A = this chain, B = another copy of it.
């Protein structure tokens, strides 16, 4: 004789056991006011005893919200996106929301269709949009039309009332460049980030500002386009390093490209940091695993995502759009940079 599979308790079971109406149980579960403390305790006790968990589906259907939040991203480096995921997850967990990750495929129209498909199919309560998706005016408009609350993580210049969380990319890049200048470097190469990312332009602007501030002429030949990938960083660095009057330092717009630059240096037999300084941006895991360890800008990726999720949840609760936020960064000096060689 086998034990029957224990039917899942429902709200009615709890109500009956506690001798109250289901509505009262509902009130307790949702922390609504106007329930006597004694009643609340009694219900809570039964809930625990029966191991009762409200049905998400029923709740969504009746309450017109799904407790589901989407997190969409395009194609970032694994180390970066995992930090984002965990930041958002952590905040979701606090409020018993669930997080639905979605890697967006395609660009332009196709990307839009992909996102809207997700939004239409799963009735998300809100969305976290990471760069560069957050930089598509079309997408922003489409989301507005669906009147779906969302928060953007990462900087961008799309004028929009939606709150966002970002950091001072330009400032950070400027500071890093000045650090290199401070080490005596004058020929400083720069690898630009993916052109789709607004941050790429900001970082480049910071680099330029630092040069200008120190009376160093900006030269196109010290700047190369990259795409935030290891390979693109390696290729760009090879070009930078094989020209006459090659730079004595390379500042890449993210760590993956900086790691690529390191690889390029190794392959060209250039010692880092003795003959070449290399700096990155983001301070992801890779910065600590390459040799020499990367000097980089620490970006609070986890906190960025946590904060964005926090804003979103606030937004869902209050209905009003909260203030956007800017988080801090800091330079992390490791072994890949040094005083310029003679």
A residues neighboring B (CB under 8 Å):
5-6, 51, 53, 55-61, 66, 78-79, 81-83, 85-86, 89, 96, 98-103, 120-123, 145, 147, 230, 256, 259-260, 262-263, 266, 285-286, 288-292
Residue contact B99 to A100, C-beta cutoff 8 Å: yes
Residue contact A101 to B99, C-beta cutoff 8 Å: yes
Q: List 20 A-B contacts (CB under 8 A).
A: A51-B120, A53-B120, A55-B61, A56-B57, A56-B121, A57-B57, A57-B58, A57-B123, A58-B61, A78-B78, A79-B79, A85-B101, A98-B122, A100-B100, A230-B289, A256-B289, A259-B289, A263-B289, A266-B291, A286-B289
Residue contact B100 to A147, C-beta cutoff 8 Å: no
Would you give the shortest CB distance from A3 to chain B, in whole angstroms?
9
Counting every copy of the chain, the complex holds 2
Residues on B with C-beta less than 8 A from A256 are 289
Residue contact B122 to A56, C-beta cutoff 8 Å: yes
Would you give the shortest CB distance from A4 to chain B, in whole angstroms?
11
Would you give the shortest CB distance from A107 to chain B, in whole angstroms?
18
Interface centre among A51, A53, A66, A81 (most CB of B within 10 A): A53
Determine the distance from Cα of A266 to Cα of B266 in the docked complex, in whole angstroms. 13
